[in-house]
Amino acid sequence: MAYINNPNQSGPRGARLPINSTNTRLTVEVSAASSDYVLVLTDANTALTFSGTFEVQIPDEASVNFPVGTQIIIINRGTGTLTFDSVSAASIYSAGSVYDITAQYGIASLIKTGADEWYLAGNLA
């Protein structure tokens, strides 16, 4: 993947923004889910929206082998609570050990950093 420097970012070199082969910024596909949901491989590097009270499950590596570095963005469009949970051997780490998006329009990001190891950050409670 190629990168460009962002001159609008503070710091000596600015932030590095990913670009594709046509030198345009990358975008993510956005999909809607309407029930409890287990992540699948095609969710890698996408955004999922929910509107209600649901559970988002992260499968273990034996079930779905996401590449290390995979990021999945979760958006709560509704007033319900989205709860993150793992299936079997997968581990989720979050500052303060919080695993819920309770706020409407709250956003969280899951990032896979190793085998069965995910980090969760965002508007969590």
The answer to whether residue 38 sits within a structural domain is yes
Beta-bridged to residue 100, according to DSSP, are 83
For the stretch 4-26, pLDDT in tens is: 444 444 444 445 555 555 655 56
Q: Tell whether the torsion through CA atoms of 82, 124, 66 and 85 is positive or negative.
A: negative
The answer to whether residue 102 sits within a structural domain is yes
- How many domains does the chain fold into? 1
For the stretch 53-82, pLDDT in tens is: 999 999 999 999 999 999 999 999 999 999
For residue 37, the enclosing domain spans 27-122
119 contacts 93 by C-beta, under 8 angstroms: yes
Which of the four pLDDT bands, split at 50, 70 and 90, describes residue 28?
Answer: confident
Contacts (Cβ under 8 Å, ≥6 apart) of 37: 48, 50, 54, 55, 56, 57
CATH code, 59: 2.60.120
71/80 Cα distance (integer angstroms):
23
pTM of the model as a whole: 0.80
25 contacts 3 by C-beta, under 8 angstroms: no
Provide mean pLDDT across the span 24-38: 87
Task: Tell me whether residue 94 is exposed, middle or buried, using C-beta atoms within 10 angstroms of its C-beta: 0 to 12, 13 to 18, 19 or more.
Answer: middle
The answer to whether residue 50 sits within a structural domain is yes
The secondary structure of residue 67, as a DSSP letter, is P
The answer to whether residue 68 sits within a structural domain is yes
The answer to whether residue 97 sits within a structural domain is yes
Task: Tell me whether residue 112 is exposed, middle or buried, using C-beta atoms within 10 angstroms of its C-beta: 0 to 12, 13 to 18, 19 or more.
Answer: buried
The answer to whether residue 81 sits within a structural domain is yes
The answer to whether residue 22 sits within a structural domain is no
The answer to whether residue 99 sits within a structural domain is yes
